[in-house]
Structures are given as C-alpha cells and as structure tokens.
Structure 1
Amino acid sequence: MKDNFSNQASQYSKFRPHYPQELINHVLSFVKNKETALDVATGNGQVAIALSQYFHTVYATDISENQLQHAPKIINVIYKNQSAEETDFHDKQFDLITVAQAVHWFDFNKFYAEVNRILKPNGIIAILGYGLFSTNPDTDKILLDFYHNIVGPFWDAERKYLDENYKTIPFPFEELETETFSNVFTWNFDQIIGYLETWSAVEHYKAHHNQNPIDIIREELKISWKKSDKKVTFPMLIRVGKLK
C-alpha cells in the first residue's frame, strides 16, 4: 500500500469532503450486528467517527502515523498504525469492514485474503469513495484541463480505478445491490484551492517541477469561481458485499 498523504495530513483533515449521513445509513442497513467495526486506511478518521455512533467498538488503521495524529480522539475508536494487508486482528472479529477512498492503493489479493480472515461469516465489507467533482460549466472546463493535462501525467496508475467509479476493482464477494448517492457542498475559493492541494498528483508535480501547479490556474479559477453559484458535487462510489 502506498502512502501518498502523510505530508498533507493537516490539509487532508481540513479540506477533504466528508461522507453524507445517507450513505453511512445505507451501509449500516446491511449490517445485522453492530458490535465491532474496522475502518481500513482511515486517514483522518472520518468514517470511523461516523461508525462510532452505532458500534460498540470501532478500530481504525492507517499506515500514516501523521494522518492518525490528525484524527479525532473518541472513546470507542481505537487507532492502529498498520497496513491494510497485514493486521494483528483476530479471525472473524468484525461485523463490518469499511474502506473509504483508499482501496485502489492496496494489494488486492493480500487485502481481500485478510478480509476473509477477519470478517465474521455474516459480516459486511463496504468499499466507499468519491469521483472527480463537478461545479459549473466554466469552472469545470478549467478543472478538467488541470486534472487531465496539467497534473494528469502525475497521477499514480491506481487513479484509474476512481475514474472508473470503482466498477473495475476486483471484488471477490457476494455483491449486494446499492443505491446511488452524491454529495453537494457550497465552497468558498479557499476551500476549492485547499481541496486541490490534497491531490496526490499536485504533490508529485511539486516534487518534479519545484512549483505549485495550482498557480497556473489560480487567477482564472478565482474569476470563474466568483461568478459561479459555488456549488460542488461529488459522485459517491459504493460497493457492498459479504463473504461467499
């Protein structure tokens, strides 16, 4: 599993979009028992915190200690600095395992073997994420050029799984039918810039060129954003399954 986000942990915590309660509720509707949950690659703990309201105990793992330091401390959430593919959990320990915006970084075979080991026979695995956001036609034109052409060469190969809405990831489980969700925000200019700063491709571009690619579009984006309704819509990605 790659760690592309330790250097951006504070930005990630501040600017990454949260998951809508409707999506969390939908995942929970598949889970019969709510004793123990695991959120893998928890990052800043968004999904773990959401699950903590419903489960007796929530474990949350990440390979980035820096990310975990920015996660809220909740009494029934236990954070662990470990990889997705190798954990120290007991066999058949979890009623629910979630992965949000991270499964594309994993070694699929090793991770799914671990899921088969630690998920209860009637447990649920839920893969969550969000695709490229949309705004208004003028701003989208700027952002699509930025996404594909300016930082496009600097995306990791795994990004394709998000572009394909997680439909092409391996998913060796009995898949359950899910609903469709989107997440809508009203963002000011600082928020949209802050979110772009969390992109791994932006970090890779900075390292390669020693300059921030956002500066290329900053002024044009500011003018466009000032004229817009400032709405941002993320398509939510979800796949839910149980052991075969």
Structure 2
Amino acid sequence: MKDNFSTQSDKYAKYRPSYPKELFNYLDHIISNKNNAWDCGTGNGQIASILSKTYNNVYATDISQSQIDNATKTDNIFYSVQAAEKTNFNENFFNLIVVAQAIHWFNFDEFYTEVKRTAQKDALLAVIGYGRLKISKEIDDLISDFYVNIIGKYWDKERKYIDEDYKTIPFPFNEIESPKFENVQLWSLEHLIGYLNTWSAVKHFIKQNNYNPIEQLQIEIEKVWGTETTKAIHFPILLRVGKIEK
C-alpha cells in the first residue's frame, strides 16, 4: 500500500470533503449489530468519528502515523498504525468494515483475505469514495483541463479506479444494490484551492518540477469565480456494499 498522504496531513484533515449523513443513515439501517467497526485507511479519522456515534467500538487503522496524529479523537475510537492487508485483529470480530477513498491503494487480494478473516459472518464491507467535483461549467472546464493535461501524467496508476467510479475494482462479495448519494459542500475559493493542493498528483508534480501548478490554476479560477463568497461544490459518492459470507 502506498503512502501519499503523510506529508501535509494537517491540510488533508482541513480541506478534504466530508460525506453526507444520508450515506451513514443508510448503512446504519442495513446493519443491526453495531458492536465493532473497522475504518481501514482512516486518514484523518473522519469516518471513524461518524461511526463512533453508533458503534460501541471503532478500530481505525492507517499506515501513516502523521495522519493518525491529526485524526479526530474520541473514547471509543482505537487508532493504530497497520497496513490494510495484515492486521493484529482477531478473527470473526467486525460487524462493519469501511474503506473510504483508500481501497485503490490496497493490494486487493491480500486485503480481501484480511476482510474475510476479521469479519463476522454476514458482516458488511462498505467501499466508499468520491469522484471529481463539479461547481459550474466554466470552473469545471478549467479543473478538467488541469486534471488531464497539466497533472494527468503525475497521477499514480491506481487513480483510474476512482475515475471509473470503483466499478472496475475486484469485489468478490455478495453485493447489495445501494442508492446513489451526492455530497454537497459550501466552499470558499480558498478552501477549493486548499483541497486541490491535497491531490497526490499535484505533490508529484511539485517534487519533479519545483513549482506548484495550482498557482496558475487559481488565477484562472479567480477570473470566473464571481462575487459569491462561497459556492456549492458537488461530489458524486462512490459506494459498493457487500455481505461477507462464510
């Protein structure tokens, strides 16, 4: 599993989007036993924090100590630095396993073996993510051109799974057809630029070229942003849910 997010983990926690509450209401509705949940690839603990409100115990893992240091803390969230593919958790332990915006970095076969080992019979695996943001046609066109033509070659090959809406990841579980969700955020221009700076391809670009390409993009977006202090930012939610049969 790659670690592209240990650097600037404080910015990751500040600028990355949250997820709609309707998504977690749905997961709560389809899971009756809420004893132990695993938030794998927890990052800043965003999902773990939400799960902690309905689960007795939430175990949150990440390979980045820096991310965990910046994560949300509560009494029933237990953080640890562990790879997704090999953990110290007991067998038949979890009622829910969640991976949010991270599974594309994993070794699928090894992770799914660990899922099957640590999950209780008929537990659920929820693979969550979010696609490319949409704001307005003018801004979307600028960001799309930047995404493809400026930083396109700097994306890790695993990024394709997000561009393909997680539809092409292996998923050897009894899949449950789920409703579609959208995440809408009200962001300032400063927040949008902060978010774009968390893209791993931007970090790779800066490392190779010694300058930040976001600076020119920001100039272009400022020209068409308008007078609003904030704008609605739309993220399509990617979701696949599977029952873990044993």
Q: TM (normalized to structure 2)?
A: 0.97
- Residue 75 of structure 1 aligns to a residue whose secondary structure is coil
- The CA distance in 1 between the partners of 2:32 and 2:138, in whole Å, is 46
Whole-angstrom CA distance in 2 between matches of 1:236 and 1:154: 24
**Do structure 1's residue 235 and structure 2's residue 236 form an aligned pair?**
yes
Match of 2:64 in 1: 64
**Structure 2 letter corresponding to 1:37:** A
- Residue 222 of structure 2 aligns to which amino acid in structure 1? K
1:102 & 1:8 partners in 2: Cα distance?
A: 17
Deviation >2 Å, runs of 4+:
226-229
Aligned length: 244
Show the counterpart of 1:53.
Answer: 53
Q: Secondary structure at the match of 1:29?
A: helix
Residues of 2 paired with 1:218 and 1:125: CA distance?
38
Deviation at residue 230 of structure 1 after TM alignment: 1.6
Q: Any conservation in 2 of the 1:30–1:124 contact (CA below 8 Å)? A: no
Deviation at 1:216, TM superposition (A): 2.1
CA distance in 1, matches of 2:49, 2:165: 24
Cα offsets for 1:71-117 (capped at 9, x unmatched): 01100000000100000000000000000000000000000000000
Q: Secondary structure at the match of 1:7?
A: coil
Deviations 1:176-216 (A, max 9, x none): 01000001112111000000011000000000100001012
> What secondary structure, in the 3-state scheme, does the structure 2 residue paired with 1:6 have?
coil
Whether the aligned pair in 2 keeps the contact of 1:41 and 1:100 (CA below 8 Å) is: yes
Give the CA RMSD over aligned residues.
Answer: 1.0
- Quote the residue 1:105 is aligned against: 105
Instruction: Give the Cα separation in 1 of the matches to 2:28 and 2:151.
Output: 37
Shift of 1:25: 1.1
Rounded Cα–Cα distance in structure 1 between residues aligned with 2:158 and 2:29: 30
* Aligned equivalents of 1:187, 1:72: Cα separation in 2: 21
Unaligned runs of 5+ in 1: none
Q: List alignment gaps of at least 5 residues for structure 2.
A: none
Work out the CA distance in 2 between the residues paired with 1:239 and 1:101.
Answer: 12
Q: Residues 123-174 of structure 1, C-alpha deviation per residue, up to 9 Å, x if partnerless? A: 1100000000011011011100011111111000000000000000000000
Match runs of 1:109-120 below 5 Å: 109-120=109-120
Aligned-partner Cα distance in 2 for 1:16–1:139: 19
Shift of 1:226: 2.6
On the 8 A contact 1:58/1:78 being kept in 2, the answer is: yes
Q: Which amino acid aligns with 1:238?
A: L
